[in-house]
Amino acid sequence: MKKLLKPKTSSKIDVDNLILKKRELFLYGKVDDESILKLIKQIKVLDNINHKPIKLYINSPGGQTTCGLALINLMREVKSQIITVINTQACSMASQISIAGDKRYMYSNGWWMAHDMRGGITGDYSSKVEYRAKWIEKHYKNLEDVYKKFTKLSKKDLEIARNGELWLNANECLKKGIIDKILS
């Protein structure tokens, strides 16, 4: 009977570590506490190592606005250039994150979507609905200001986003200043 030889060294590749060394990060899935905290930590570490550009690939349906704004705040704080790359979709809060990049790219088959935010009222809030509605209006104005600051979206575009959903393909995003370049 032949003996099987065991390799002397491990051939297991740490994919996550290799990608991090290339300064490539990923927002795939929901914008929530877990996904954003991970990205914030990764960006902080990479920015502390050096100030070379960091690529943030996005394929997200969106999520929590406060989490997304925390990431945007950090993106504006660090010295490293943040390059956002929409890989298929940047919807809702992910659309906000995508436009906050120093350079903004999108694959030709990608989609970008903006819309109004949800109220998030649950539990015994009947007496607090009026106050929550006032806060939502203020919060939405902050989000709208981000769109105005980083894009060339028209008043009509912002109206559509406010009252429905504004879906844009790569060519439309380029025309409206949402991205700087289309990748093929």
pLDDT in tens, 126-172: 677 788 788 888 888 888 888 999 999 999 999 999 999 999 999 99
Crossing angle for the helix pair 33-49 and 65-77, to the nearest 10 degrees? 10
The catalytically annotated residue of 35, 60, 80, 92 is: 92
Separation CA 47–CA 53 (nearest Å): 9
Q: Which fold has domain 15-183?
A: 2-enoyl-CoA Hydratase; Chain A, domain 1 (3.90.226)
Q: Cα-Cα-Cα-Cα dihedral of 155, 159, 162, 166, to 10°?
A: -90
Domain spans, the chain: 15-183
pLDDT in tens, 19-74: 999 999 999 999 999 999 999 999 999 999 999 999 999 999 999 999 999 999 99
pLDDT in tens, 76-120: 999 999 999 999 999 999 999 999 999 999 999 999 999 987 655
Number of residues in the chain: 184
The catalytically annotated residue of 115, 126, 139, 184 is: 115
Burial of 123 from C-beta contacts in 10 A (0-12 / 13-18 / 19+)? exposed
Could you give the 3-state DSSP secondary structure of residue 181? Answer: strand
158 near 147, Cβ under 8 Å? yes
Burial of 173 from C-beta contacts in 10 A (0-12 / 13-18 / 19+)? buried
Residue 8: per-residue pLDDT: 57
Separation CA 66–CA 68 (nearest Å): 5
- Rounded to the nearest angstrom, the gap between the alpha carbon of residue 79 and the centroid of all alpha carbons in its chain is 18
pLDDT confidence tier of residue 1, bands split at 50, 70 and 90: low
Residue 7: per-residue pLDDT: 53
Structure tokens at 125: 């809030």
Report the DSSP beta bridge partners of residue 182.
Answer: 106
115 is catalytic: yes
92 is catalytic: yes
Residue 121: per-residue pLDDT: 56
